[in-house]
Structures are given as structure tokens and as C-alpha cells.
Amino acid sequence: MAKKILPAISLGVLTIIALVFLTGGGTDDKDVLRQTFEVDAVYYDTGHVEIAFVDKSEKTNSVVMEILGMDETFQKTFYDSQFIEIVPFPNEPKYGWAVHPIVLEIEHLELGHIQLKTEIHPLGDSIPPVIYSRP
């Protein structure tokens, strides 16, 4: 029974997160954030996801990365302006990659607290949009 409810709950949580990202900080200049930060999450059919983050300004103090929608949420903290993390992901999700968003909480010397959200995509597919926010 719980397995049938879990996708619906996950979708609801994702909707709420998306609304928070879209409405939070609507007056900020997103172009500066787009020019400063890059994130990509690629699924390889060998059973893993490669997540790459780059801060072109090199002024990131820390990044907390989370992959939501998993049985146990993946979370890891990085203390650098760039990283590549390999996360085992044996199967493509039944309900699509949208149920496993990648959320980054960034502490930046000049820009302050920044949130980025993106989705995993299979190798060869186009890169999904990144949502930038300043809470």
C-alpha cells in the first residue's frame, strides 16, 4: 500500500518545492546566477548518476547537495567551488526523473545563500532547466 502512495506524495512534495523555488526571490537577477553557477546530473545506463557543479567565480564556501525522492534521501556537503559526485542508481525510475530532483544549497561569499534545482537526465538527452533562487 505504501508503495502506491509514495509516488503521489513525492509528486506533491516536488510541486511544493517547485512553487517555493519559482516564487522565492522573483526580483533577483537570475542572469548573474546563470552566469556564475553550472550544474548537470547525467544518468548512465551502467547504473549511476554523475552530478557536476561549477562556480565560475570560485567563491563558494559550501554546497549541500540532496537527491530527493529516494527511499533514503541522499545528502552530501562539499567545501569547494566545483565537484563531481558519482551516485549509484541501478534503475531508471518508473515515474521518470522528475521524482528525483537534485537540490543544491550554496553558501557564496558575494551572493549569499543560493538554491539551485535541476533534474537528472539520461546521457544524450537535453539538459533540463535549472531553477535558481535566493530565499
The architecture in CATH of the region 28-133 reads: Sandwich (2.60)
pLDDT per residue over 42-65, tens digit each? 999 999 999 999 999 999 999 999
pLDDT at 70: 85
Distance CA(125)–CA(74), nearest Å, equals 23
Distance CA(114)–CA(33), nearest Å, equals 9
pTM of the model: 0.76
Distance CA(10)–CA(93), nearest Å, equals 12
pLDDT per residue over 70-90, tens digit each? 888 899 999 999 999 999 987
Nearest to 69 by CA among 47, 43, 50, 96: 96
pLDDT per residue over 104-130, tens digit each? 999 999 999 999 999 999 999 999 999
Q: Domain map of the chain by residue range?
A: 28-133
Return the DSSP state at 98.
G
Distance CA(15)–CA(68), nearest Å, equals 12
User: Quick one: which H or E segment has residue 53?
Assistant: strand 48-55
Sign of CA dihedral 104, 30, 27, 21: negative
